[in-house]
């Protein structure tokens, strides 16, 4: 069991609070690529696993890189290998590694689901 899974109920509460204040969807993915926490549309993704093409996997392959910004998921090369690219509801995303004591435990994803949210990322 991943370390984040041990505290997923607490993380879900925190994510719900952040999502309400920030007006973005939030997703937490652990180092096994399992979606542990999701808000809004991403609640349906909880317990799903990302494949080797998902952004969390790409970020975890490069420990020197701690974050990624995708301005447009439909056109980004970072999303080309994702098995869920077709029909992806996410328009833009910021993905940050969750790191403690030089160990990456997963990622925190802030997701824009519409044009207004996407524009707010950029400005």
**Domain that residue 29 falls in:** 5-122
Place 29 in a pLDDT band, splitting at 50, 70 and 90. Answer: very high
> Reduced to 3 states, what is the DSSP secondary structure of residue 7?
helix
pLDDT per residue over 32-76, tens digit each? 999 999 999 889 999 999 888 899 999 988 888 999 999 999 999
Q: Kindly report the CATH number assigned to the domain that includes residue 65.
A: 3.30.450.40
Q: What per-residue confidence (pLDDT) applies to 49? A: 93
Tally the residues of the chain: 123
In this model, does residue 122 exceed pLDDT 90?
no
Q: What per-residue confidence (pLDDT) applies to 83? A: 87
**Domains identified in the chain, total number:** 1
Give the predicted TM-score (pTM) of the model.
0.91
């Amino acid at each position: 069991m991943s370390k984040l899974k041990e505290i997923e109920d607490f993380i879900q509460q925190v994510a719900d609070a952040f999502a309400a204040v920030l007006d973005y969807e939030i997703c937490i993915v652990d180092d096994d690529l399992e979606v542990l926490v999701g808000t809004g549309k991403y609640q349906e993704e909880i317990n799903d696993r990302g494949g080797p093409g998902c952004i969390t996997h790409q970020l975890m392959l490069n420990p020197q890189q701690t974050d990624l910004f995708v301005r447009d998921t439909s056109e980004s090369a970072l999303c080309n290998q994702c098995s869920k690219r077709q029909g992806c509801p996410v328009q833009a995303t910021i993905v940050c590694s969750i790191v403690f004591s030089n160990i990456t435990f997963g990622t925190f994803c802030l997701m824009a689901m519409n044009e207004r949210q996407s524009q707010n990322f950029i400005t």
